[in-house]
Structure 1
Amino acid sequence: MNDAEKAFREEADDLLEQLEQSLLDLEKTPTDKELIDCAFRALHTLKGSGAMFGYERVSAFVHNFETAFDQVRKGRAPPSHELVAVALQAKDHVRVQIEAPDAADEDHGRRILDELRRVVEASLATPTAPAGAASIDATLREPAGGETARVTWRLRFSFHESVLVNGTNPLLLFDELRALGDFDLNACGDAVPALDAIDPTLCYLSFEATLVTDQPRSAIEDVFIFVIDEMRLEIERVDEEASPRIEEPSAATADAPATVTRRSAESDGRGAGSVRVQAEKVDELMDRVGELVIAQARLTQLAETASLDIKSIAEEIERLAANLRDVTMGIRMVPIGTLFGRYRRLVHDLSSELGKPVDLVMSGEETELDKTMIERLADPLVHLIRNALDHGLEDAAGRAAAGKAATGRIRLVASHSGAEVLITVADDGRGLDVARIRAKAIANGLIAEDAVMSDAEIHQLIFHAGFSTAQSVTKLSGRGVGMDVVKRTIESLRGAIDIASRPGAGSEVTLRLPLTLAIIEGLLVRVGGARYVIPLSSVEECVELSAAGDNGSAGRSFLNIRGDLVPFLRLREFLSAKTPPDPHQKVVVVSFGEQRVGLVVDQIIGSHQTVIKSLSKLHADVPCFSGATILGDGAVALIFDIPHLVDRGQAHDEERKAREREAA
């Protein structure tokens, strides 16, 4: 795939997303003219760029799609639920034509267009429409009597001289203008140089034209929408009953004709507001910044014994490296709204399929998260939303019996909380049935029948592989596959999942995620002769191990912290440290979800800017560590995965107690 085709696909992806969002919004507010124009502009640009880059089938399909949708734009066909549903199918077909042209079923595409025409033409049978309107193409070219007067427009335009080099064919634009009505074009060659100075790749001509049409001014502007930033365009309305005059200007421009003028970025000396960069290049930049942070940490360590001048330079480099790190991490941050927008279509389709009217309410779309996280969150959120729709929300009869509104509600919320981002999927459905979950867990052998568990602990059982309380298997759910994938994915992102539920009032699933996967703030500790990193976002406080706790039983014990009993784990025993323990050990109190646990270490060294390196394939299945980092002296420190560490510590403690009982 060449660069031009890649650029087209990226732009087409944005346009299709814009089209889908506009169509979904139209279903809620069908009278919003701006949404209709937005959808039409997306179609128009897709058609033009598809033809330009050789996607002829895409251009032809979108042309027919645009022709049908033009009736909505003219107000002749309302954007009904049925029309939006077919238009969304058409949009899906365009995506397939672009991403997998060989897999596109053109017969299926023709059936979609036939259905789109049927829906639109059925809407045209109104008192204002011509009787017996037989086809959309006919209504485009033959406006209904008395509906829209034909207006004469005078156009003056010239393209940037490199327009041909950029791949634009002005002849195609002239054909589009000709399709709007009676079009008369004259070319002006005043700027054409002498024959020996002509560059055949440049465009020297300017143009004047008249167009008699029943279309609005915006339709003329839309013809040039794809090249508007590389041309000068003037559009004047001519009064047919008097001498030609310029269209009535606004008060701010009373002495000037109505003019649309756009210049390329090169002509005004300013760069574009944004630039596309391949994700691989951003990742590579982040890797280089990580190496710089490691080198800077080593320099700072060496500078401690050096002269004041060297220390000053090391401090300056540390400041610059920190600024560069923050800027680079900012580049990787993406508004989570880019992810949330995908689920509107999911909820729309599932709502129709299940016969459950649902409102999707989103907030916090501006919250930013690392782009790698956003990519990996797509599937877990799909599972959570599907479960909320299928299991959480009642059907119409159930909601009526519970005294609830007929339309269910799913909330998708993102927010910052310290160094974490919280993403919540909530519904107003029936809530989790604790008794049913417990019974299913006992039947599956996950817990003992006499096990004492809190509601929060029982809620977590739904994340076990193969666990499902569904009474029947459907194509949406019932096989117990999905929620365990959600948990594994979130934990692989160093995140955690909280569940809150009230019977009859709905459930909330909250994903707690770090801001980034690349560089984190950590607490550097020593256990025995090795150093480890504890993510600072998990640390609540640090206390000294009391004499009572130090003299307690081996393994897992409890600390009294301001009246609360906090279990603690002796990392020396868990990690099999061989060196003698320090005389005054410290406890790092960490939290995840609703749990608080103390980790006993020999020494707390201090905060550390941690560049995370993935473990090798040989160590990928080591569950207690999420990665490693390189310290200033070149040594490697492992990074604790707190939830897995505590789980393994508890299992280690149970095994130790079992051995003690056997020995006794």
Structure 2
Amino acid sequence: MNISDPTETFRQEARELLDQLEAGLLDLEQDPGNSDLINSTFRALHTIKGSGAMFGFTAVAAFVHEFETAFDRVRKGQSAPNKALIGVALDAKDHIHQLIEAPDAVIAGGDAILEALRAVVDGENHSPPAPTRLDAASAPAVAEPDVPAQSKHWRLVFYLPSDALAYGTNPLLLLDELAEIGPTSICALTDRLPDLDILDVEVPHIGWQVDIEAEDPTSAIDDVFLFLRDNMELTLTPLEAAPVAPAPAIAAPEPAIAARPAAPAPTPVEPVAPPRAVADKPEQVERPAATSLRVPAERLDELMDRVGELVIAQARLSQIAAQSADTGLKTIAEELERLSSGLRDTTMGIRMVPIGTLFSRFRRLIHDLSGELGKPIEFITAGEETELDKTMIERLADPLVHLIRNSVDHGLENEERRLAAGKGPKGTVRLSAVYSGAEVAISVADDGAGLNHERIRAKAEENGLITPETKLTEQELNHLIFAPGFSTAKEVTSLSGRGVGMDVVKRTIDGLRGTIDVASTPGQGSTMTLRLPLTLAIIDGMLVRVGNGRYTIPLAAVEECVELPEGIEAHAKGRNFLDIRGSLVPYLRLREVFNTNTPPEQHQKVVIVSSGEGRVGLVVDQIIGNNQTVIKQLSKLHSSIKSFSGATILGDGSVALILDTAHLVASGQSYVDRAITGRAA
């Protein structure tokens, strides 16, 4: 049995909280008056501090405590959030991340960050502190007393939720925190203790009465019960005069002794205002069922491999059953096919992750680039709910970083140039995702100056990529930016200019069996669109025969199948056109592409496939049928063969190559573009 490392569990949860903290800070910069954002940010800090102390990350807990103390002034309305505060808070978030990932390392800079944070908070304190009453937008833990606020003596009575102990809450630590508010006297309330034979030791049957001397402790008490207030009973009432400690009360410095109910409990105090908590809630609260389970990614990969092997075995069984006259065997084969198909879909669904988890990372990137380059930028995202295979998500981060940095640095003009061009002062970068058949199209668009085709061509000629006589279509010219070492930047900066980045994007997307479309309008902006398959594991395929070889075409790319008309010239440089309902579609004879020497079939078929906006027909000898295709990657020795994206094992144990439809469509479309260019010339 594998026992998870508790410190690694803390790190995983802390990373999620830090992502939440960063998102909250960036949202707060856009909406400074949103109290919900301030409260959620404070809760994230509070949780990190408590969990860090629990798991032995003392440096994290100490730093976050100071961070939380400074940010508490923002939460209480004593300081307004602004750009300077958000910038320092983001630096503090980065420092917390370093402390968590390397707890034994000596990481400097924390004191300077906290000092800068205090200075920013103090500098914004232009107005008197706001009344420390609980915000109506948050779930109040304390019933607000309907009395003058001049009272300095308060009585707090609370009973913890029935599941508080099971979730790790220590009542004595809560009492210690209450004692920090001011002088207190504490008394245990034993009026709800059940008989010994029905006593549940995991349920906090004991309540507490705490008399506090303070100006107005509502806000401080709210902090103490920040994560318990929704389900507990808690009332706070003012006392007209200094309270006389009840007989069984224990002094605040020794709250641990208060847990001994040595004396009878006092009569519960009637609150002045009715408590907000539900008083007649059942003693036992049914815990909600778990809604998620953290599973290592390696186990999902292993499960996917097992499902792939099951699909191959099922295909072999189906082929054997088809050749048998045994109806029982056929019935079992059909049932197994149904079950394996459902298991495949379920397993693939587990691997699918909303792409919004990736998009959220780039908000910080845009924020930092905007400050570094002095360009005001609006970052817009769309389609965050679009799901993609987790492997895709992991490998897409770096390419998208390069594309976004390229858009900001090269695409967007500075404020003066935008105003001179009649645009708004703030540039826009839009990151979106949308389903396109069995593909996901991810676009990075900007409203900048667009690609400079003259400079691209001049740089390509200078680098020897093309000659002055080379005729290129606009699409081919655009794709020159992905050549290794290619850059049109006039000078090298910390962001760009060395020609490293866009070629990495191209290699990564090719490795994911995807394509890149580039569209640019001078003076209006550019759009880079990544087209990627939904999954890298199992797909539905159409099995075809070309000569004696069998090949699989991804079914998601197939639009339709037609018969090749008789009388069409068999040799037209490997390409020709078909009239498909008034639209000319180029087609490739796969017999010629694969150098097949066997005689062609009399009635050949054309499979119309598409990728992005392009379409091409693939001429095959026979369409065998559809099957579930488990993708096996080709070896490095075959990486130069662009017509195939992988291989699969068929039911009879033989291997069929999977056609790379994007490459074949590009081959057909380049012929069309050259033909159009030739006619124009």
1:32 to 31, 34, 42: 34
Mean CA deviation greater in 388-397 or 616-625: 616-625
2:82 to 77, 80, 83: 80
CA distance in 2, matches of 1:316, 1:218: 63
Shift of 1:351: 0.2
User: How do 1:286-301 residues align onto structure 2 when only pairs under 5 Å count?
Assistant: 286-301=304-319
For each residue in 1:196-249, what CA deviation from the matched residue of structure 2 results, as whole angstroms up to 9, or x when unmatched? 9999x97877340324556675653543456779xx632112133499543644
Equivalence for 2:431: 412
User: How do 1:579-590 residues align onto structure 2 when only pairs under 5 Å count?
Assistant: 579-590=598-609
CA distance in 2, matches of 1:14, 1:247: 41
CA distance in 1, matches of 2:354, 2:100: 26
Mean CA deviation greater in 569-578 or 453-462: 569-578
* SS at 2:455 equivalent: helix
Shift of 1:335: 1.2
Shift of 1:174: 3.1
Q: Is the alpha carbon distance of 1:452 and 1:219 closer, same or farther for their aligned partners in structure 2, counting shifts above 3 Å?
A: farther
Q: Is the alpha carbon distance of 1:493 and 1:580 closer, same or farther for their aligned partners in structure 2, counting shifts above 3 Å?
A: same
Equivalence for 1:186: 187
Normalized against structure 2, the TM-score is what? 0.83
Q: Is the alpha carbon distance of 1:648 and 1:149 closer, same or farther for their aligned partners in structure 2, counting shifts above 3 Å?
A: farther
RMSD, aligned CA: 3.4
2:620 to 594, 601, 604: 601
User: How do 1:53-202 residues align onto structure 2 when only pairs under 5 Å count?
Assistant: 53-105=55-107, 107-126=108-127, 152=154, 154-158=156-160, 163=165, 169-187=170-188
CA distance in 2, matches of 1:491, 1:120: 49
Partner amino acid, structure 1, of 2:434 = S
Equivalence for 1:246: 271
Q: Does 1:526 align with 2:551?
A: no
Q: Is the alpha carbon distance of 1:370 and 1:161 closer, same or farther for their aligned partners in structure 2, counting shifts above 3 Å?
A: closer
Q: Which runs of 5+ in 1 are unaligned?
A: 131-145, 653-664
Partner amino acid, structure 1, of 2:271 = I
Equivalence for 1:271: 289
Q: Is the alpha carbon distance of 1:461 and 1:330 closer, same or farther for their aligned partners in structure 2, counting shifts above 3 Å?
A: same
* SS at 2:180 equivalent: helix
Shift of 1:392: 0.8
Equivalence for 1:370: 389
CA distance in 2, matches of 1:219, 1:259: 23
Q: Which runs of 5+ in 2 are unaligned?
A: 132-147, 242-267, 672-681
For each residue in 1:333-355, what CA deviation from the matched residue of structure 2 results, as whole angstroms up to 9, or x when unmatched? 11111111111100000000000
Equivalence for 1:661: none
Aligned residues: 624
Q: Is the alpha carbon distance of 1:120 and 1:270 closer, same or farther for their aligned partners in structure 2, counting shifts above 3 Å?
A: closer
Shift of 1:365: 1.0
Mean CA deviation greater in 175-184 or 96-105: 175-184
Normalized against structure 1, the TM-score is what? 0.85
Mean CA deviation greater in 407-416 or 173-182: 173-182
Mean CA deviation greater in 7-16 or 67-76: 7-16
Shift of 1:551: 2.7
For each residue in 1:249-298, what CA deviation from the matched residue of structure 2 results, as whole angstroms up to 9, or x when unmatched? 48xx8xxx55698999xx62652122222212222222222222222222
CA distance in 2, matches of 1:416, 1:596: 18
Q: Is the 8 A contact 2:160 2:228 kept in 1?
A: no
- Structure ranking higher in helix proportion: 1
Partner amino acid, structure 2, of 1:109 = G
Partner amino acid, structure 1, of 2:29 = E
Q: Is the alpha carbon distance of 1:179 and 1:529 closer, same or farther for their aligned partners in structure 2, counting shifts above 3 Å?
A: farther
Q: Is the alpha carbon distance of 1:454 and 1:60 closer, same or farther for their aligned partners in structure 2, counting shifts above 3 Å?
A: same
Q: Is the 8 A contact 2:605 2:619 kept in 1?
A: yes
Q: Is the alpha carbon distance of 1:478 and 1:522 closer, same or farther for their aligned partners in structure 2, counting shifts above 3 Å?
A: same
Percentage of identical aligned residues? 57
Q: Is the 8 A contact 2:611 2:665 kept in 1?
A: no
CA distance in 1, matches of 2:462, 2:168: 67
User: How do 1:192-271 residues align onto structure 2 when only pairs under 5 Å count?
Assistant: 206-210=206-210, 211=212, 217=218, 220-225=221-226, 233-241=232-240, 244-246=269-271, 248-249=273-274, 258=278, 268=286, 270-271=288-289
Q: Is the alpha carbon distance of 1:147 and 1:393 closer, same or farther for their aligned partners in structure 2, counting shifts above 3 Å?
A: farther
Q: Does 1:552 align with 2:605?
A: no
Mean CA deviation greater in 89-98 or 535-544: 535-544
* SS at 1:101 equivalent: coil
Equivalence for 1:516: 535
Q: Does 1:425 align with 2:425?
A: no
Shift of 1:506: 1.1
* SS at 1:549 equivalent: coil
User: How do 1:238-637 residues align onto structure 2 when only pairs under 5 Å count?
Assistant: 238-241=237-240, 244-246=269-271, 248-249=273-274, 258=278, 268=286, 270-304=288-322, 305-553=324-572, 555-562=574-581, 564-620=583-639, 622-637=641-656
